[in-house]
Amino acid sequence: MGNKSSLMLQEQDIRDIQAETGFLPSQIERLYSRFTSLDKGDNGSLSREDFLRIPELAINPLGDRIVHAFFKESEDDRVNFCQFVRVLAHFRPIKRTQDNKLNAREEKLRFAFKMYDLDDDERISREELLAVLHMMVGENISDEQLNSIAERTILEADRDGDQMISFEEFCTALERTDVEQKMSIKFLK
């Protein structure tokens, strides 16, 4: 936490972000210093290139989509600190005592759902599913096999027979999964 970061982040901002996201002030400061270190151009916001400069993220099969999730909220091609923190707040662990709508189970699931739903129609189609499968499984597998896996997945979740998975169906399919734990990380204080 250098001087620079605390200079640019006002007390008031911290309090606002804290109220919205539930992060502690120390966590916000830490996130801010990470934000500034990612911000190579020093203009207070991140571009796609700034994100993809992280080597592991660039080779993550879902890397593009994760980065894309950050840009959903902003109109232009930059992400400011508030937007940055708001997305990250989805991954805060859920505590029984303090409730925050950003890290609720449903929000976590929605984030995962959006990884598939590229065209934002609130439905996962077979093509969208196939695209993700392709990214994760790699080349050494036949299209036929991937196709049948995608079909099977839809068949399993689809309740209303439209050959797509809606968000509700997605949630039902993952009823038994411990999403609270699987999609949470400890943010350093």
Partner 1 sequence: HGGKLERYPVAVIDFERVQTPFIIGLWIFCACLGKIGFHMAPKLSHIFPESCMLIVLGVFIGLLLFYTNAASVSPLTADVFFLYMLPPIILDAGYFMPNRLFFDHLGTILVFAVVGTIWNCLTIGISMYAVNLTGLFGVDVPMLHMFLFAALISAVDPVAVLAVFEEIHVEEVLYILVFGESLLNDGVTVVLYHMFEAFGEIGEENVQVVDILSGIASFLLVCLGGVAIGIIWGFLTAFVTRFTNQVRVIEPIFVFVMSYLAYLNAEIFHFITFCGITMKNYVEQNISTKSHTTIKYAMKMLASSSETIIFMFLGVSTVQYHHDWNTWFVVMTILFCSVYRTLGTLIFSSICNRFRVKKISFTDKFVISYGGLRGAVAFALVLTINSHHIPFQPMFLTATIAMVLLHRVCCRWTRGLLSGVWGITIKPLVQMLGVKRAEKRTLTMNERLHERSMDYIMAGIEDLMGKHGNFMLRDKFKRFNNKYITPFLVREQNIFEPKILETYSQIKMQEAMENMSNS
Residues near partner 1 (CB under 8 A) = 31, 34, 37, 51, 54, 56-57, 59-63, 66, 88, 91, 93, 111-112, 115-116, 132-133, 136-138, 140-141, 145, 148-149, 152-153, 156-157, 170, 173-174, 176-188
CB of 125 to partner 1, least distance (A): 15
Of the two residues 28 and 88, which places its CB atom closer to partner 1 in the complex?
A: 88
Q: Which residue, 44, 115, 49, is CA-closest to 83? A: 44
β partners of residue 45? 80
How far is the CA of 28 from the CAs of 64, 93, 107, 119, in angstroms?
A: 25, 15, 20, 32
CB of 165 to partner 1, least distance (A): 8
**By the 8 A CB rule, do 29 and 188 touch?**
no
Residue for token pair 């937007």: 83
Of the two residues 104 and 115, which places its CB atom closer to partner 1 in the complex?
A: 115
Of the two residues 11 and 135, which places its CB atom closer to partner 1 in the complex?
A: 135
